[in-house]
Amino acid sequence: MPNPAVIACVRPDGFPSSVATWYDWRDGEILVNMHAERKRLGWMRLNPKVSLTVLDESWYRHVSLTGLIVRIEDDVDMVEMDRLSRRYTGQPFARRKEERVNAWIRPRGLHVWKDGGRFTAGSR
């Protein structure tokens, strides 16, 4: 099973908002998917700056990325949601009547913490 992840975005009042999320990596970008009516989707449209932290079994090992939402698109026929659901559960996504949206993140910075050591690559 893939590692759990948390995505954070910036609300219009300037405060951060973070939620657990499914994710996947494809062609140098990170895919996240959400219900079309999620408030965070609107916030991401207003401010595309996000961060994503992926945790290992021990939170002493994790990867945190900062990046920009570069594309937001309807998930027609739940193609990407099914792909994420199969990755996490082994099954297609069950709630077929939901409208789903893909958000694609292009990483800009990276922070890796592994067994007490740290590596940081700066923003581009």
pLDDT recorded at residue 119 = 58
Per-residue pLDDT tens over the stretch 42-66 = 999 999 999 999 998 877 788 999 9
Q: Residue 25 and residue 28: Cα distance in Å, rounded?
A: 7
Q: What is the DSSP string of 51-92?
A: EEEEE-SSTTSEEEEEEEEEEEEE-GGGHHHHHHHHHHHSS-
- Provide the 8-state DSSP code for 94: S
| Domain ranges, ordered by start, for the chain | 5-121
pLDDT recorded at residue 31 = 97
Please state which architecture CATH assigns to domain 5-121: Roll (2.30)
Query: Which stretches of the chain drop beneath a pLDDT of 50?
Result: 124
pLDDT recorded at residue 122 = 57
